[in-house]
């Protein structure tokens, strides 16, 4: 046995001993072994090129002890849910600085320490907050600010992500401990990227969105992230009893909200757009990142901004069979190019942006009175995203897959196709090597099912709020079980007739086996934790 494999096995054994689930914290309705076949099938069809802390043969023990269980009638949704947590597990990497979460499995030249990249790290925290073992994200949070991470190499909604993790785990110790680091990080962003007019600017590539039509400037992305971070730091400071810090960041958030709505909103186009530096004229293109303000609940309600969402389902806007597209299709600069840079944000569909858009859309449907978008639109967009998680092998087999950018009309993974075709050795050696984008950890999915479709809305108090975005008449049943939330195990059950789970009709929420909320139909319900 080689030394690397021996180290992996020893680490797995120690992890199993140190984290054994409490007998009382077991699922109420679903049985974990009923879903083991997904992990087995994924492994059977997988070419395991890069192994980090949890190899494929230990995937199911990890998943069964760590993730909420999900069952629904649509096996595409169910399969993709387990597939995405199965791939997330691949990116848990143990280092001398503790655990980190990677974006690429192979080493890439543009990464930082331990092959980390902060561009998708916000998604890593949103997705990973549902894992039962807190050590992975505890270490990862500390790494970014104290162990050599590069939190400003790309845009990163760090404080927002950490606070939203707290809303699930309800442990404020680390969050408060990191507050001084988060403040310094924000101030460093102000020094490097704050313009005299009060808006932040960013290079499109440093947003992770190179070759965009709108280009660099005062973008909805960076300004939304900084607003979200300011709000989060005010909330963290309030937890810490630091009212002066809370007031300071509340005021920063208020000013940024006003500026985004005054300067980035195009009233004629009914969309948030990029404003180039040293210009008073916004770019002439709607880009998908214009939905980012709703990711952090920035726009004022009842102000008409939700009109932007009509573009999501418009075939001349962002709607496509494997979309959404990253730029409106009616624009002359829209491209689906197989020439030039392999990663372009001028038309292809990108899971990073799709995840942000769907999280933002769930916020709209939960918090904003409007008639521009519906739960049917949410379900259709989530369904398109779900069914984009596939690859047709050369032998005709269709396998679950997540990669970089998609052709929104055909579902082809563009970067993968490009890298395979290049004749300069890229596929085998350069730019990350063979299957650079395979199992790409650049987006979220499980979090969308939990907080959007199933509707568990994390909050800081002891009220459990559930508002499923499943349209009426779509599914007769679903169950989300084994959710570790505020130290309790939650179970969400929708059973229209009561015959699927034999626990009664309708929508029900259980905490540690005790029913705390119920309704006959799919609607918002609330219950109090025991």
Q: Which residue has the tokens 């259709």?
A: 380
Query: Is beta strand 488-495 parallel, antiparallel or unpaired with respect to 92-95?
Result: unpaired
| Burial of 528 (C-beta count, 10 Å sphere; 0-12/13-18/19+) | exposed
Query: What are phi and psi for residue 228, nearest 5 degrees?
Result: -60, -40
The pLDDT value recorded for residue 3 is 39
* CA distances for 181 relative to 118, 136, 140, 298, angstroms: 16, 19, 14, 24
Q: How sure is the predictor about 20, in pLDDT bands with cuts at 50, 70 and 90?
A: very low
List alpha helices for 240-315, DSSP H: 243-259, 292-295
Q: How sure is the predictor about 426, in pLDDT bands with cuts at 50, 70 and 90?
A: low
The pLDDT value recorded for residue 308 is 98
Structure confidence by residue, pLDDT tens digits, 444-502: 999 999 999 999 999 999 999 999 999 999 999 999 999 999 999 999 999 999 999 99
d(CA 285, CA 306) in angstroms, rounded, equals: 18
Q: Which residue has the tokens 């199992």?
A: 439
The pLDDT value recorded for residue 425 is 56
Task: Give the tokens for residue 190.
Answer: 């102000």
The pLDDT value recorded for residue 421 is 85
**DSSP secondary structure of 56-121:** GGGHHHHHHHHS-EEE-S-HHHHHHHHHHHHHHHHTEEEETTEEEE-S-SS--TT--GGG--STTH
pLDDT at 294 over 90: yes
From the CB of residue 22, how many other CB atoms can be counted at a distance below 10 Å?
Answer: 8
The half-sphere exposure of 232 on its side-chain side, counting CA atoms within 13 A, is 27
* CA distances for 316 relative to 286, 328, 332, 336, angstroms: 11, 6, 11, 15
Q: How sure is the predictor about 394, in pLDDT bands with cuts at 50, 70 and 90?
A: confident
List alpha helices for 398-510, DSSP H: 414-421, 446-448
Domains of the chain: 3-453 (1.50.10.10)
Task: Give the tokens for residue 59.
Answer: 């995937």
Average pLDDT over residues 317-328: 98
Structure confidence by residue, pLDDT tens digits, 184-218: 999 999 999 999 999 999 999 999 999 999 999 99
Q: How sure is the predictor about 363, in pLDDT bands with cuts at 50, 70 and 90?
A: very high
The pLDDT value recorded for residue 423 is 63
The pLDDT value recorded for residue 26 is 85
d(CA 333, CA 452) in angstroms, rounded, equals: 33
The pLDDT value recorded for residue 420 is 87
C-alpha triplet 42, 44, 45: angle, nearest 5°: 70
Q: Which residue has the tokens 């543009």?
A: 110
pLDDT at 16 over 70: no
From the CB of residue 122, how many other CB atoms can be counted at a distance below 10 Å?
Answer: 26
Task: Give the tokens for residue 259.
Answer: 């500026």
In this prediction, what percent of the chain has a pLDDT beyond 90? Answer: 91
d(CA 341, CA 320) in angstroms, rounded, equals: 22
Nearest CA-CA partner of 174 in 146, 142, 143? 142
The pLDDT value recorded for residue 422 is 79
């Amino acid at each position: 046995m080689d030394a690397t494999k021996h180290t992996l096995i020893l680490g797995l054994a120690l992890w199993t001993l140190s984290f054994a689930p409490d007998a009382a914290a077991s699922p109420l309705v679903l049985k974990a072994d009923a879903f083991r076949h997904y992990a087995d099938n994924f492994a059977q069809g997988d070419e395991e090129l890069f192994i980090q802390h949890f190899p494929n043969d230990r995937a199911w023990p990890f998943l069964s002890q760590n993730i909420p269980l999900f069952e629904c009638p649509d096996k595409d949704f169910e399969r993709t849910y387990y597939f995405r947590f199965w791939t997330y597990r691949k990116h848990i990497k143990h280092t001398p600085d503790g655990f980190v979460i990677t974006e690429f499995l192979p080493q890439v030249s543009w990464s930082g320490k331990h092959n980390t990249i902060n561009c998708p790290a916000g998604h890593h925290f949103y997705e990973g907050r549902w894992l039962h073992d807190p050590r992975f994200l505890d270490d990862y949070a500390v790494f970014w600010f104290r162990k050599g991470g590069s939190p400003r190499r790309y845009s990163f909604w760090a404080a927002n992500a950490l606070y939203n993790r707290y809303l699930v785990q309800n442990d404020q110790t680390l969050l408060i401990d990191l507050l001084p680091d988060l403040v310094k990080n924000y101030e460093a962003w102000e020094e490097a990227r704050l313009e005299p007019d009060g808006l932040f600017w960013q290079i499109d590539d440093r947003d992770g969105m190179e070759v965009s039509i709108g280009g660099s400037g005062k973008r909805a992305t960076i300004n939304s992230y900084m607003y979200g971070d300011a709000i989060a730091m005010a909330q963290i400071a309030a937890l810490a009893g630091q009212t002066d810090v809370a007031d300071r960041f509340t005021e920063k958030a208020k000013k940024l909200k006003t500026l985004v709505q005054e300067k980035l909103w195009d009233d004629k186009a009914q969309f948030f757009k990029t404003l180039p530096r040293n210009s008073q004229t916004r770019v002439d293109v709607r880009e998908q990142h214009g939905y980012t303000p709703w990711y952090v609940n920035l726009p004022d309600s009842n102000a008409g901004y939700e009109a932007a969402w009509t573009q999501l389902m418009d075939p001349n806007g962002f709607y496509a069979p494997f979309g959404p597209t990253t730029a409106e299709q009616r624009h002359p600069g829209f491209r689906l190019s197989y020439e030039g840079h392999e990663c372009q944000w001028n038309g292809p569909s990108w899971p990073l942006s799709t995840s942000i858009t769907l999280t933002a859309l769930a916020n709209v449907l939960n918090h904003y009175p409007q008639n521009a978008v519906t739960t049917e639109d949410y379900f259709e967009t989530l369904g398109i995203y779900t069914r984009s998680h596939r690859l047709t092998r050369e032998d005709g087999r269709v396998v679950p897959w997540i990669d970089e950018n998609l052709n929104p009309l055909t579902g082809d993974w563009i970067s993968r196709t490009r890298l395979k075709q290049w004749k300069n050795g890229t596929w085998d050696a350069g730019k990350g090597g063979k299957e650079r984008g395979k199992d790409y950890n650049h987006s979220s999915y499980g979090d969308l099912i939990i907080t959007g479709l199933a509707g568990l809305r994390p909050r800081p108090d002891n009220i459990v709020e559930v508002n499923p975005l499943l349209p009426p008449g779509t599914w007769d049943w679903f169950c989300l079980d084994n959710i570790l939330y505020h130290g309790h195990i939650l179970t969400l059950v929708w059973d229209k007739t009561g015959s699927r789970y034999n626990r009664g009709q309708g929508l029900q929420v259980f905490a540690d086996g005790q029913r705390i909320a119920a309704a006959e139909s799919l609607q918002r319900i609330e219950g109090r934790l025991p």
